[in-house]
Amino acid sequence: MLGSLAIYCVLMVDYHTLRGWQSLDDVMFYIRGACRAVEFAVTLCMCGYIMATFYMEMTSVAGIVMLAIYTYYCIVQRGGKGWKIWMMRRQAAHKVQSLQSADSDDLETKKDLCPICYQLMESDVRIMHCKHHFHENCLKKWFYIQDKCPMCYAQFKTT
């Protein structure tokens, strides 16, 4: 419930800002991630308590096996999936940071729209190896999906 309230507050702040909040996607990701981490920790503690109860009371083997299966599918796999998403997001951010940043003179002469979000490129612009320009946040979202330029589909080159 607190996570939903935090997301609502963040969306209201974004709504009332004049040009929108550039890092809205990151803030939403961290709020949802924190909520899922707390949920994961509570579920893990609950399973530990149930396992300890089963061990102390010497309950049936079938109950212990069912709890072990539940723990694997509902906790271990979910934790692994969350870790994979976290790592993919970090890799996307590192890829964007490795790209050349566009200077203000280049942006003044170009006065172009970002091909991903269709907003004017005024700041936080990165240049791909194929010389296409994009907002940093737009590229982060794009690299989370694939490693190609959104315009010409040239493969991202690591340096």
In this predicted model, what pLDDT tens digit does every residue of 58-68 receive, in sequence order?
667 777 777 78
- What is the C-alpha to C-alpha distance for residues 55 and 57, in angstroms, rounded to an integer? 6
pLDDT per residue rounded down to tens, the chain (159 residues): 888 899 899 888 888 887 767 778 888 889 998 998 898 888 888 888 887 887 777 667 777 777 788 888 878 888 888 889 888 888 888 998 999 888 888 777 778 888 888 888 888 889 888 888 898 888 888 888 888 888 888 888 776
Q: What secondary structure does DSSP assign to 76-137, as a single string?
A: IHHHHHHHHHHHHHHHHHHHHHHSEEPPHHHHHHH--B-TTT--B--SSEEE-TTS-EEEHH
Choose the catalytic residue: 45, 47, 114, 149. Answer: 114
Q: Is 148 helix (H, G, I), strand (E, B) or coil?
A: strand
Q: Which residues does residue 142 pair with via DSSP β-bridges, in sequence order? A: none
Is 114 part of the annotated catalytic residue set?
A: yes
